[in-house]
Each structure stands twice: as C-alpha cells, then as structure tokens.
C-alpha cells in the first residue's frame, strides 16, 4: 500500500504561496497584460479586484490571480 501523505512543510509552503499578496509588477508578469489592461479589466469586472495593503498601496491575492488564469484557460 502506498503512503500518499505529503510532507507537512510542503503543505505549509503551498498554503503560504496561495495566500501571499502580489503587487502590480507581479500581476503584469503573471498575466502578460499591461498595467492599463489590468486596471481596465478590474474596473469592468473581468479580473479580481485589488485589496488594500497599506495607506497608499494595493495588491492582489495570488490565489485570486491563479484562479483567474485557470478560468481564462478554460474559456479558450
């Protein structure tokens, strides 16, 4: 019988990765979209909204961007 349990450290690392906040430069790199396209898509509801991370700073949840990219892939 095979043991399918994963190392707890790997599980924790995966959870941390999914919950991290990415900035605009990361979203540009991950999506291949321009700054203007990203903000237009957010305004039109085609992309996840940013979350405030400081008084004058916003970011996106990595898991939201990843889910968005998966959804785009399913629609092609």
pLDDT band at 39 (very low <50, low <70, confident <90, very high): very high
pLDDT over 70 (residue 42)? yes
**pLDDT value of position 24:** 96
CB-based contact 37:72 (threshold 8 Å): no
71 φ, ψ (degrees, to nearest 5): -60, -45
| Residues 17-34, mean pLDDT to the nearest whole number | 91
Rg (CA), the chain: 15
Provide CB contacts within 8 A for 66, sequence distance 6+: 18
| Residues 43-61, mean pLDDT to the nearest whole number | 96
| Residues 19-40, mean pLDDT to the nearest whole number | 94
**pTM of the prediction?**
0.76
CB-based contact 30:65 (threshold 8 Å): yes
**pLDDT value of position 5:** 65
Tokens of 53: 């991370």
Please report which helix (H) or strand (E) contains residue 54, including its range.
Answer: strand 51-54
**pLDDT value of position 19:** 82
């Amino acid at each position: 019988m095979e043991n399918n349990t994963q190392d707890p450290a790997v599980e924790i690392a995966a959870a941390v990765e999914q919950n991290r906040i990415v900035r605009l430069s990361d979203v540009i790199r991950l999506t291949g979209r321009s700054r203007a396209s990203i903000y237009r898509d957010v305004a039109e509801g085609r992309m996840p909204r940013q979350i405030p991370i400081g008084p004058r700073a916003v970011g996106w949840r990595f898991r939201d961007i990843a889910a968005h990219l998966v959804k785009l892939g399913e629609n092609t």
